[in-house]
Chain A
């Protein structure tokens, strides 16, 4: 850790590693990797590394948005549906002859717009985050069903879109979705760490009353958090439509659960005020590596669901343990986990 003195002992350094945020989760990833590489040597290969990276993209983009919302003390259950609907927007517009770039921008704008609707319902009408985004979860999905009339959008792919969707790789192993996800992570990390909006997010999430008293516009910060989440879901939708080459009405179903799981594994708290961009990456990596390892190791699909659930539990328990340890070592108080200011109660 950066606050260690230069003359720190080995023991101090070791302790710093064990108590650093996400150390528990990282140890789970390492364990899974060891297990998988014993079962099959191909697990540790450049090719598989990029498989995992390309599989992480969509959940990572949603998890970044989810992390922002969670930090602000909210939760966004609509991201999977919004991602699916935005994929539908870009596909349908391209079928109707709208140029690709315009269609993509409109789809991302649609995502941001739906996020803004979420935010407005929450801040202006005062509905709980859970309820408002649950409604959007249903509305966005239902709209896609109505719009497609159950039949997938097809025949919108162009040569460029194959590259955008990552199905063609002009830059070696790196695909456009991976590059976009890297950029998004960087932007979110910088925003959270170095901008007033980032600081306000943490303030609003951990103590909204205090933030308000110090002059932060709490509704505006929360609204912006949902816009970010919707926008990232829009970006994910644009990329996903390029990867699936067809937009089925159920596209993106269940992704909100993965996004929440990834954010939580990465250390974001449902009670708000906590979470980092790198945490979203680590959380998503945990999910992707676990699924990839189990597929390669040949774990029965029936067991995969159980194992994924247990890994989630283990990651969070280890995270709590390292937080506890840190509080003893560095003497900082533990963040309240089940604080009474839970998002849903506001």
Chain B
């Protein structure tokens, strides 16, 4: 699958800062989306990944992403940005491994741009109180508060309804605050594209970069024949609906694959465990289980163990696939608890959204409304690269 072939480089442990940043340059430079960014930012300029800092004295010590190492260009951008402080807010719906990885990647990118162009960041993360009865309302209040404090840009993740969030972004924009959303499901709202209020929506297409990928993988692994069980998010989740659409599209290619059961795992491991336990009672000979997130897939894996069934060994056993792109999920794949998982690429989500903020707020560029990152289906064979990439995001060069 071509999803697996995103060329990426990882920094070696203990590498010098320059080689570290050069590694980062390779990472960003190798990705399709970033390449587009590069060309948008630096038309016709030399952008060799090996470019050396143009002027060490002025602090430009990097060759990553939108940075060229070409002094005529870099100096012009630096003139535009120098001394400018961007007030940036990040409002994840709750604290989770997922957002920790995204935040770390944001920090990495912010640091790269700061080092190269002297742009300063005034950063604040604010999360609604846990388990508040209506966290969407709490999140909107946070957006309102930050907008009234004249924040330049907000990176928003919300479980809120699309129209509700659009209204919040519209109000914020009136105060001059641009909202960039991450990890949401705009692909379910293409019909409203001409009215999108967010500056950009950075994420991935849940249909064809998640659901479809899993369906295709299961189809190929089982050679087009077998039974599948779905352990799914709660009804009403847009993620669940979009992934279902993609999964169905893939399954249409494999008439021999049959979905025998679908349970509600509520995105939690323990519920995933019990639901799978129930379903395995009725379908003990199932060939594959698709858990819509890693936690549910891991719960399903435990239920498979508890029933004394074998995991997929390349020839036989139960294929168990999850999705998330968490370091804990990569470990589960390495340990053989999960057969595969879709890495939705938290690191690039964090990096791309900072690029969008920089382009939109600092350079005044038009950024893409729908900004997809590459996703990849991770198995034991290719777990090393995404795992190293995630580890890098968790060790940001500077915390803001």
- Chain A residues with a Cβ under 8 A of chain B: 40, 42-43, 45, 47-48, 51, 54-55, 58, 81, 137-138, 141-142, 145-146, 148-152, 154, 166-167, 240, 243-246, 248-251, 253, 291-292, 295-296, 298, 300-302, 304-305
- With both chains docked as a complex, state the minimum distance between the C-beta of A172 and any C-beta of chain B, in angstroms: 13
Given contacts A151-B328, A246-B298, A291-B278, contact A240 B270 (CB under 8 A): yes
Verify B269–A304 contact, CB threshold 8 A. Answer: no
Q: How far is the CA of A298 from the CA of B278 in the complex (A)?
A: 10
Verify B129–A296 contact, CB threshold 8 A. Answer: no
For residue B100, CB closer than 8 A to chain A, the reply is yes
Verify B270–A244 contact, CB threshold 8 A. Answer: yes
Question: Which stretch (B28-36, B201-209, B258-266) binds chain A?
Answer: B258-266
Q: Which of B100, B235, B277 contacts A151 (CB 8 A)?
A: B100
Verify A295–B95 contact, CB threshold 8 A. Answer: no
Q: How far is the CA of A300 from the CA of B269 in the complex (A)?
A: 20
- With both chains docked as a complex, state the minimum distance between the C-beta of A83 and any C-beta of chain B, in angstroms: 11
Verify A149–B273 contact, CB threshold 8 A. Answer: no
Q: How far is the CA of A243 from the CA of B274 in the complex (A)?
A: 11
Verify A296–B130 contact, CB threshold 8 A. Answer: no
Question: Which stretch (B43-51, B168-176, B247-255, B299-307) binds chain A?
Answer: B299-307
Chain A minimum-CB-distance residue to B337: A245
A-facing residues in B218-245 (Cβ within 8 Å): 232, 234-235
For residue B99, CB closer than 8 A to chain A, the reply is yes
Q: How far is the CA of A291 from the CA of B276 in the complex (A)?
A: 12
Q: How far is the CA of A219 from the CA of B270 in the complex (A)?
A: 36
For residue B397, CB closer than 8 A to chain A, the reply is no
Given contacts A138-B129, A253-B268, contact A40 B273 (CB under 8 A): no
- With both chains docked as a complex, state the minimum distance between the C-beta of A78 and any C-beta of chain B, in angstroms: 11
Given contacts A291-B278, A301-B264, contact A145 B328 (CB under 8 A): no
Q: Which residues of chain A are within 8 angstroms of B279 by Cβ–Cβ distance?
A: 295-296
Q: Which of A43, A248, A298 contacts B269 (CB 8 A)?
A: A248
For residue B216, CB closer than 8 A to chain A, the reply is no
For residue B295, CB closer than 8 A to chain A, the reply is yes
Q: Nearest 6 pairs between A and B by C-beta?
A: A150-B95, A301-B264, A295-B278, A302-B235, A151-B97, A150-B96
Verify A243–B268 contact, CB threshold 8 A. Answer: no
Verify B130–A141 contact, CB threshold 8 A. Answer: yes
Q: Which residues of chain B are within 8 angstroms of A48 by Cβ–Cβ distance?
A: 278, 281
Verify B328–A142 contact, CB threshold 8 A. Answer: no
Verify A40–B282 contact, CB threshold 8 A. Answer: yes
For residue B67, CB closer than 8 A to chain A, the reply is no
For residue B217, CB closer than 8 A to chain A, the reply is no
Chain A minimum-CB-distance residue to B131: A141
- With both chains docked as a complex, state the minimum distance between the C-beta of B340 and any C-beta of chain A, in angstroms: 19
Q: How far is the CA of A69 from the CA of B397 in the complex (A)?
A: 51
Q: Which residues of chain A are within 8 angstroms of B232 by Cβ–Cβ distance?
A: 301
Verify B95–A149 contact, CB threshold 8 A. Answer: yes
Q: What are 19 A-B contacts with C-beta separation under 8 Å?
A: A42-B281, A45-B281, A51-B277, A51-B281, A137-B131, A138-B131, A141-B131, A145-B130, A150-B96, A152-B328, A167-B305, A243-B273, A246-B269, A249-B96, A250-B94, A251-B269, A295-B282, A296-B278, A298-B282
- With both chains docked as a complex, state the minimum distance between the C-beta of B341 and any C-beta of chain A, in angstroms: 15
Q: Which residues of chain B are within 8 angstroms of A148 by Cβ–Cβ distance?
A: 95
Given contacts A152-B328, A301-B262, contact A248 B282 (CB under 8 A): no
- With both chains docked as a complex, state the minimum distance between the C-beta of B333 and any C-beta of chain A, in angstroms: 14
Verify A150–B99 contact, CB threshold 8 A. Answer: yes
Q: Which residues of chain A are within 8 angstroms of B282 by Cβ–Cβ distance?
A: 40, 42, 295-296, 298
- With both chains docked as a complex, state the minimum distance between the C-beta of B270 and any C-beta of chain A, in angstroms: 5
Q: How far is the CA of A244 from the CA of B303 in the complex (A)?
A: 10
Chain A minimum-CB-distance residue to B103: A150
For residue B275, CB closer than 8 A to chain A, the reply is yes
For residue B80, CB closer than 8 A to chain A, the reply is no
Chain A minimum-CB-distance residue to B299: A244
Q: How far is the CA of A248 from the CA of B268 in the complex (A)?
A: 9
For residue B399, CB closer than 8 A to chain A, the reply is no
Q: Which residues of chain A are within 8 angstroms of B95 by Cβ–Cβ distance?
A: 145-146, 148-150, 249
Verify B130–A142 contact, CB threshold 8 A. Answer: yes
A-facing residues in B290-331 (Cβ within 8 Å): 295, 298-299, 302, 305-306, 328, 331
Q: How far is the CA of A146 from the CA of B278 in the complex (A)?
A: 34
Q: How far is the CA of A238 from the CA of B305 in the complex (A)?
A: 20
Q: How far is the CA of A85 from the CA of B389 in the complex (A)?
A: 31
Q: Which residues of chain A are within 8 angstroms of B277 by Cβ–Cβ distance?
A: 51, 54-55
The residue in B130, B262, B273 that gathers the most chain A C-beta atoms within 10 A of its C-beta is: B130
Q: How far is the CA of A152 from the CA of B101 in the complex (A)?
A: 13
Given contacts A301-B234, A301-B262, contact A291 B274 (CB under 8 A): yes
- With both chains docked as a complex, state the minimum distance between the C-beta of B54 and any C-beta of chain A, in angstroms: 38
Chain B minimum-CB-distance residue to A154: B328
Q: Which of A137, A245, A249, A295 contacts B302 (CB 8 A)?
A: A245
- With both chains docked as a complex, state the minimum distance between the C-beta of B332 and any C-beta of chain A, in angstroms: 9
- With both chains docked as a complex, state the minimum distance between the C-beta of B361 and any C-beta of chain A, in angstroms: 27
Chain B minimum-CB-distance residue to A293: B278
Verify A244–B274 contact, CB threshold 8 A. Answer: no
User: Assuming A58-B270, A141-B131, A253-B268, what are 4 further A-B pairs, CB within 8 angstroms?
Assistant: A40-B282, A245-B302, A249-B94, A250-B268
Q: Which residues of chain A are within 8 angstroms of B131 by Cβ–Cβ distance?
A: 81, 137-138, 141, 253
Verify B278–A292 contact, CB threshold 8 A. Answer: yes
Q: How far is the CA of A55 from the CA of B281 in the complex (A)?
A: 13
Q: Which residues of chain B are within 8 angstroms of A40 by Cβ–Cβ distance?
A: 282
Q: Which residues of chain A are within 8 angstroms of B234 by Cβ–Cβ distance?
A: 301
Given contacts A40-B282, A244-B273, contact A301 B263 (CB under 8 A): yes
Chain B minimum-CB-distance residue to A51: B277
A-facing residues in B59-99 (Cβ within 8 Å): 94-99
Q: Which residues of chain A are within 8 angstroms of B302 by Cβ–Cβ distance?
A: 167, 243-245
